[in-house]
């Protein structure tokens, strides 16, 4: 029987952006600014998903409460599989969980070590840069490749940040080191231990759809169907795959401020019912 309930107009539908970064990882904006921009974009909810870091949450929460926008607990964690970079988003976990805390502090140390390795490899191919310059740009948060890219830019080895990833620090480049040596299975175990829901981020970058079923066997709970780098055909494909594998669906912009210029917060925002489904599953 057809429903008599009117569909909300597109403009009135509550929307959420579940993938954003702050300067606690490789974004350029503060947690407060991200919340303010999300509010200004008319969003009902956001998650801050910094790389291997959850320090933005307590800073952003009072601002979100003040502005009346829902802030979900989130993170984007690095893993690697078969030489491929795998990013796992996670939502609704216990931030105080000891397994998670231990993982994050180990990952922080690994990322520092990684920068030293990357810088040595880059020096070997003629880039005269120092690890200390990278750490100075990263500040207190998670250090990552975009910070290395900025140092390469500052010294004139590249003319745009994206060039760093095509010539120096992307997969198959001389300075490439994976963000984490851990397999997705191990990172999923950490997220599950903290009662979170692991979600495979931007599957389009993985380019190996057939791996997703394997990750599901290992405890993956969701798929980022909607993402600013997913064209409509990819959204349709991942939507079908999520249905087939019984996965929750999430989405968001992957906002990074000036690190990804021209990508506003709220791009690829999802209807709020996806957030409700996520919260039901984590309850």
Interacting stretch for Zn ion, rule CB under 5 A, among 24-32, 95-103, 185-193, 234-242?
24-32
List 15, 19, 23, 26, residue binding ligand AMP (CB under 6 A): 26
List 64, 168, 254, 257, residue binding Fe ion (CB under 5 A): 254
Report the C-alpha gap between 168 and 277 in whole angstroms: 41
Interacting stretch for Zn ion, rule CB under 5 A, among 23-31, 171-179, 245-253, 275-283?
23-31
x-marked contacts with ligand AMP along 46-85 as a string, rule CB under 6 A: -----x--------------------------x-------
Q: Least separation, in Å, of the C-beta of 202 and Fe ion?
A: 6
Tally of CA atoms within 13 A in the half-sphere of 268 that contains its CB: 23
Nearest CB to ligand AMP, comparing residues 49 and 69: 49
Residue 180, contacted partner among Fe ion, Zn ion, ligand AMP, none, CB below 5-8 A by kind: none
- Residue 238, phi then psi, degrees to nearest 5: -75, -30
Q: Least separation, in Å, of the C-beta of 269 and Zn ion?
A: 18
Nearest CB to Zn ion, comparing residues 145 and 192: 145
List 26, 29, 50, 224, residue binding Zn ion (CB under 5 A): 26
Of 49, 48, 77, 27, the residue nearest 180 (C-alpha): 77
Report the C-alpha gap between 205 and 26 in whole angstroms: 18
Q: Least separation, in Å, of the C-beta of 20 and Fe ion?
A: 8
- Residue 222, phi then psi, degrees to nearest 5: -155, 165
Residue with tokens 């997913």: 230
Residue 210 · residue 116 · CB < 8 Å: no
Residue 145, contacted partner among Fe ion, ligand AMP, Zn ion, none, CB below 5-8 A by kind: ligand AMP
What is the length of the chain?
Answer: 283
Tokens (6 digits) for 170: 């992307």
Report the C-alpha gap between 281 and 283 in whole angstroms: 6
Residue 278 · residue 92 · CB < 8 Å: yes
Q: Is 162 in the site for ligand AMP (CB under 6 A)?
A: yes
Q: Is 87 in the site for Fe ion (CB under 5 A)?
A: yes
State which H helix or E strand residue 180 sits in.
none
Q: Least separation, in Å, of the C-beta of 21 and Fe ion?
A: 6
Q: Least separation, in Å, of the C-beta of 77 and Zn ion?
A: 12
Residue 82 · residue 122 · CB < 8 Å: no
Q: How many residues bind ligand AMP (CB under 6 A)?
A: 13
Residue 42 · residue 277 · CB < 8 Å: no
Q: Which residues lie near Zn ion (CB under 5 A)? A: 26
| Chain positions contacting ligand AMP, by CB under 6 A | 26, 51, 78, 144-146, 161-162, 165, 170, 179, 256, 259
């Amino acid at each position: 029987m057809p429903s008599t309930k009117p569909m909300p107009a597109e403009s009135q539908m509550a929307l959420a952006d579940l993938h954003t970064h702050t300067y606690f990882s490789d974004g350029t904006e503060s947690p407060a600014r991200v919340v303010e921009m999300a509010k200004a974009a008319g969003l009902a909810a956001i998650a801050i998903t910094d790389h291997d870091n959850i320090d933005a949450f307590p800073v952003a929460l009072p601002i979100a409460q003040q502005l009346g926008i829902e802030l979900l607990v989130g993170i984007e964690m690095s893993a690697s599989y078969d030489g491929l970079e795998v990013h796992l988003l996670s939502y609704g976990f216990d931030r105080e969980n000891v397994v998670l805390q231990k993982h994050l502090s180990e990952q922080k140390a690994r990322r520092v070590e990684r920068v030293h390795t990357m810088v040595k490899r880059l020096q070997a191919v003629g880039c005269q840069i120092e690890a200390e310059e990278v750490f100075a740009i990263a500040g207190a948060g998670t250090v990552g490749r975009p910070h290395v890219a900025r140092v390469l830019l500052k010294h004139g080895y590249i003319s745009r940040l994206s060039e760093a990833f095509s010539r120096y620090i992307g997969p198959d480049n001389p300075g490439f080191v994976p963000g984490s040596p851990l397999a997705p299975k191990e990172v999923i175990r950490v997220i599950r231990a903290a009662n979170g829901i692991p979600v495979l981020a931007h599957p389009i970058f993985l380019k190996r759809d057939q791996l997703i079923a394997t990750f599901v066997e290992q405890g993956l709970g969701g798929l980022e169907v909607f993402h600013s780098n997913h064209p409509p055909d990819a959204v349709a494909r991942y939507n079908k795959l999520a249905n087939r594998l019984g996965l929750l669906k999430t989405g968001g912009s992957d906002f990074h401020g000036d690190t990804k210029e021209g990508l506003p917060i709220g791009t690829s925002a999802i209807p709020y019912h996806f957030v409700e489904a996520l919260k039901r599953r984590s309850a």
